[in-house]
Structure 1
Amino acid sequence: MRFNNKTIVVTGAASGIGRATALQFAAEGAIVYAADIDEAGLAQTVADSNGKVVVQGCDVTSPQDIKALMDRAAAETGGIDAVFNNAGAGGDRATIDEIEPEGWDRTMDLLLRSVAFGIRYAVPHMKGRAGAAIVNTSSVAAIGPGYSPTAYAVAKAGVLHLTKCAAADLAQYQIRVNAVQPGFINTNIFTRSFDMPPELEEKGKQAIAIMSQSAQPVARGGQPTDIADAVLFLCSEAASFMTGTSLLVDGGLTVGPRHSWDPEAPGVYQALEAIAASAS
């Protein structure tokens, strides 16, 4: 019960990583304010919880919605102890030579500006709270190209730098700010990015799970609870000496090209060895 009677705000709590994290916080004694635009999903989060979950409709592209969420949580409980700025989606899939301004701005509003204002409107209610912590969802896509569409990757890289800047700004109030970088996690973010109908979403998630088992050193698909574990750690007293940094939770996806961890995969040195062996 690391978070007994603590007030925690989680955005994007209707499904996936957000839901898993909200449920885990509630199971450890927190009063969780679960926010999303998906009312049915929020109702399911409440139904799945064995703790206290309060739901609030919130479109994180609206700063007014974010402020209302933070103000309500503080008014009803006396303050906010931790915030998980998690809400998001895949964003515009167009390449940089084809993307339109509207698609770029929509992606940045959803994935980057929402985090900035999640911090902005939570902080007045976090000052003076012992152990206050903020965690932002970035991504392996922030490390380099190839993991996601361009706009998504740029926004998630921005989240990493925002996390560092916010950690510096808020140190005077003893508020820690960190990020988590998920790899391929088996949620509906991928299937919804491709506008899959609901009847195909489960097949899409199964395909992602199968693919991810062979795409990384840890030979299993990532689960929302893997990220929830990391978020709760970053918000806990065990991470009290951590701020301005990020946890990669990716099954080793970013450790290097496949041949760096898979002896069956050909790499440059293996190819040279084969040539040398054939010549001798």
Structure 2
Amino acid sequence: MSRTLLITGASSGIGAATARSAAAKGWNVALLARSEDKLSALAEDIGDAALAVACDVTDRDALADAFAKVADKFGGIDAVFANAGKGTDKPGIENGDPDDWHAMIHLNILGVLYAAHTAMPYLRKTKGHFILTGSKAGRDHMKGSVYSATKWFVHGLSENIAEEMREWGGRATVIAPGMVNTAFFDEAKPTKLQPEDIAGAVMFALEQSETSAVREIYLMPTD
């Protein structure tokens, strides 16, 4: 029986690459993001193994409805990849934009917490896996970076989730990449990590044996 992976921030970049990789390995994939057109195109490209659900992950009711649709479609949820996140165009504290911080913190922190809270009852049933997109920025102290601080939260939260899930046979992993060639940046980064590299790390974590829990995967570009 196929396993099911639910991905937030699935419409492009890391999320889309992970969906393609998982589907190629026989997983069902549930695609969550706000961009309905991009999700639908990706789901059509992947085929019957994909379900697109337009959803704002900062809306708890919408998230609950999305999880219920996925579980109803595929019979359960075996893994969740909390990948949705954003940065800011105005780095620094003194010259930063508090309104921008609010939106970023809501997505990067509360969006991940909401996903975890919603996922737990489903993952408990399958002894499943919760994966979070962290960052090298969540391991380093970066001058005045509120984005970095949100990723520090994600890294700490991942270990706390892992300890909670371990009590009933579940696992959690944080994926911590350096610079990745995605739309996060205005210019293409062909020599940096590619979305497929991160997708490979996600699949590595998911495919561990029952006796192995990979808590963190830290990737850096070779240049």
Query: 1:77 is matched with which residue?
Result: 74
Distance 1:15 1:136, change over 3 A: same
Partner Cα distance (1:43, 1:239) in 2: 34
Letter of the 2:175 counterpart: V
Q: Closer, same or farther in 2 for the Cα pair 1:76/1:46, shift >3 Å?
A: closer
2:17 matched residue in structure 1: 20
Query: Which residue of 2 is the match for residue 263 of structure 1?
Result: none
Q: What's 2:170 paired with?
A: 175
* Higher alpha-carbon deviation: 166-175 or 11-20: 166-175
Is the partner of 1:120 in helix, strand or coil?
A: helix
Corresponding residue number in structure 2 for 1:188:
183
1:231-242 superposed matches below 5 A:
231-238=202-209, 240-242=211-213
- Whether the aligned pair in 1 keeps the contact of 2:82 and 2:115 (CA below 8 Å) is yes
**Secondary structure of residue in 2 paired with 1:93:** coil
In structure 1, the residue matched to 2:4 is 7
Structure 2: 5+ residue stretches without partners: none
RMSD: 2.0
Q: CA deviation at 1:52?
A: 1.1
Look up the SS of the partner of 1:90 in the other structure: coil
Greater RCO between the two (CA within 8 Å, min separation 6)?
Answer: 2
SS at match of 2:126: coil
For residue 128 of structure 1, what is the aligned residue in structure 2? 125
Q: Please list the CA deviations of residues 48-80 of structure 1 after superposition, one character each: whole Å capped at 9, or x if unmatched.
A: 325611000011222222222212212222321
Q: Structure 1 residues 171, 60: closer, same or farther in 2, change over 3 A?
A: same
Query: Among 55, 58, 64, which residue is 1:58 paired with?
Result: 55
Decide which of 85, 88, 97 is 2:85's aligned counterpart. 88
Secondary structure of the 2:51 match is strand
* Residues 226/252 of structure 1: CA separation in 2 closer, same or farther (3 Å cut): same
TM-superposed deviation, 1:240: 4.6
What TM-score does the superposition give when structure 2 sets the normalisation length? 0.91
Other structure's SS at 1:8 match: strand
Q: Distance in 2 between matches of 1:34 and 1:59?
A: 12
Q: Is the 8 A contact 2:90 2:97 kept in 1?
A: no
User: For the Cα contact (< 8 Å) 2:93–2:144, is it kept in 1?
Assistant: no
Q: Tell me the number of residue pairs that the alignment of Structure 1 and Structure 2 aligns.
A: 223
Identity of aligned residues (%): 29
- Number of the residue aligned with 1:152: 147
The AA in structure 2 aligned to 1:96 is I
Query: With structure 1 as the length reference, what TM-score do the two structures score?
Result: 0.74
Equivalent residue for 1:107? 104
Residue 239 of structure 1 and its aligned partner are, at CA, apart by 7.3
Q: State which drifts further: 73-82 or 94-103.
A: 94-103
| Shift of residue 23, structure 1, vs aligned partner | 0.9
Rg comparison, structure with higher value: 1
